[in-house]
A and B are shown apart, each in its own frame.
Chain A
């Protein structure tokens, strides 16, 4: 019997290992059109998008995909750009770095795209950067970390920089007299470098970082991290991640009876945060764009008209309100198509046109790009929002 057991267990274990490998690379995307004929100034304009449609970034990638599909349809119904149809090719990177690299290569090699939008999160966006730079394809990321665009000639982005988000958080913390903060951050690219920025910005404001914990975006249990945070005895806690994980972390935090105030990042600027955090969301303060508090904006807000129109269009198409991430995609599309209108699809000219973007009113803010600033937004693009009764409300203007 002993030998029989052993005989059965070893193939079983082998296969389990195979199965485990499958969790890392489930369904592959074998999409891709036939070979390209060189970027031409005629025929359809090809815009590629690499988004986190499945996997841990799905809460970001799905609304971004919806937005781009809607905008491409609108644009083509209105006659395209200069009479040329716009062909949108969206690829799913499965929220992985290698998926993003593979999809980007396909877009460049097979589809011969003129412009790339993506990825949804920092890690996959960083994986795309060397590829689009080598191939010289103008690219607009919809992720946050400033490292995506720093020193790059070809990569731009539309989400607010982590630096300005942290500035807003620490300004608020300083005003409230907090001197010690603790950080619970996403373990992937989005959370990379956040502790250093807090230490640096905090030193100017008399705030020290007393503890740092991290979590995988796929995590579902946060007891361990929050137990350590509870022991850190800080005045306030910064949870830096995306939904649903940052929402579940929030729920675990409140569950453990820690009563210190919580700041979250613009990574939770959607309704999915409330779904994940439940009533624990109440009282959270987070800097974010104006989209989610659109109904509370004053009528003379320069972004109000654009935001209201987008909310109306999106809600009509998808029966749900858009998230900030949908807004980042809207902005990338806006900046990209405006530049194509001006400069056509020659890569160098298009790149220069994106870099010359000036005072373009989008959803996340008003964009002005320069050769030094490929992010285009200042701290003005952010408002502070307070989670109250299952929605975001304007906390201070």
Chain B
């Protein structure tokens, strides 16, 4: 039982990273129908950036703040320089474009930070041991980041006028424009949110999982699988799906074989796309605008 709970804790913390990336992916998908392959690279970029700042003597909280703001701006820059330049942007085109962006970002990170994995110092806090189940304080930070940042984005999109306006500009661009919602502004805000959420995932996870230039793509794809569980529109389903994905990966590694761990996500992806292409929880017509 202790082992089972221990594996669950490991899965939940891994899942919280997937969840944040899934939230970022949905943030841009609901507004622009863009699947952003570079989403995971935001995480590594923020991780590596904050590590450099800490190494240079900047206090950890300041370093994290600078990394979050910089990656948010980088995401907006990518939107302005790449995404917004394309006239008829289909989802497929967006994938190819952002795959290019991802490759470029990785090459830059390799040149700037080198090939070796690096680690951000752990956030303050002491580790817990509950009845033999060990919980690292950093894992609590990761879950906390999911609740605050992921939950914040969810509430923003679903409860505020601004958030609803963002989604409206995707579902009914012409109507949205008529009532005064600027599609360009909506797109910028969506990418800023995606950048911020990705960066948050990167900095909270770096003390445990390390940051390496090439790590973003696989991380982003795991987030994408979680987002697909939510039909690419439901934040709630994607977050639950991401946590489940992390837990299942952990069980597979513990009870089957660790080599199968990375295969789990893509196996789930295939099954979901065959059986429920609209995602796990949405009824076919239940997409809210």
Contacts and interface: CB of A to CB of B under 8 A. Distances in A.
Do A and B share a complex? yes
Interface of A: 1-2, 5-6, 8-13, 15-16, 18-20, 22-23, 26-27, 53-55, 58-59, 61-62, 187, 213-216, 219-221, 223-225, 227-228, 230-231, 244, 248, 255-257, 272, 275-276
A16 B221 contact: yes
Interface of B: 3, 6-7, 9-10, 14, 33, 35, 37, 90-92, 95-96, 99, 102-103, 106-107, 110, 114-119, 127, 129, 132, 134, 136, 208-210, 212-214, 217-218, 221, 224, 228, 231-232, 250, 253-254, 257-259, 261-262, 266, 269, 273, 277-279, 282, 284-285, 287
Nearest to A187: B259
Q: Mostly helix, strand, loop or mixed at chain A's interface?
A: helix
Contacts of A58: 114-117, 212
A255 B136 contact: yes
Contacts of B253: 221, 223-225
A275 B212 CA distance: 14
A13 B273 contact: yes
A5 B10 contact: no
Given A11-B90, A12-B35, A221-B14, 14 more contacts: A5-B279, A8-B91, A8-B232, A9-B231, A10-B273, A15-B96, A18-B99, A20-B218, A54-B214, A55-B214, A214-B258, A224-B261, A227-B3, A231-B3
Contacts of B258: 187, 213-216, 219, 224-225
B263 to A, nearest CB: 11
A62 B116 CA distance: 8
Most buried by B among A19, A27, A275: A19
B65 to A, nearest CB: 24
B92 A1 contact: no
Nearest to B13: A221
B12 to A, nearest CB: 11
A219 B217 CA distance: 15
B209 A216 contact: no
A50 B119 CA distance: 27
Contact of A256 (B6, B92, B262, B287): B6
Contacts of B37: 15, 19
Contacts of A12: 35, 91-92, 95, 224, 228, 232
A227 B212 CA distance: 26
B134 A257 contact: yes
Contacts of B254: 223-225, 227-228
A13 B228 contact: yes
A1 B284 contact: yes
A57 to B, nearest CB: 9
B14 A54 contact: no
A231 B238 CA distance: 34
B6 A244 contact: no
Contact of A223 (B10, B114, B115, B212): B10
B10 A224 contact: yes
Nearest to B220: A19
A76 B277 CA distance: 63
Given A13-B228, A62-B116, A216-B258, A223 B7 contact: yes
Contacts of B10: 221, 223-224
Contacts of B92: 11-12, 15
Contacts of B221: 16, 19-20, 23
13 contacts: A1-B285, A1-B287, A2-B284, A2-B285, A5-B279, A9-B228, A9-B273, A11-B91, A12-B232, A15-B92, A22-B99, A27-B107, A58-B116
A26 B106 contact: yes
Contacts of A53: 115
A333 B209 CA distance: 35
Nearest to A248: B210
A20 B9 contact: no
A6 B99 CA distance: 22
B116 A272 contact: yes
A319 B88 CA distance: 51
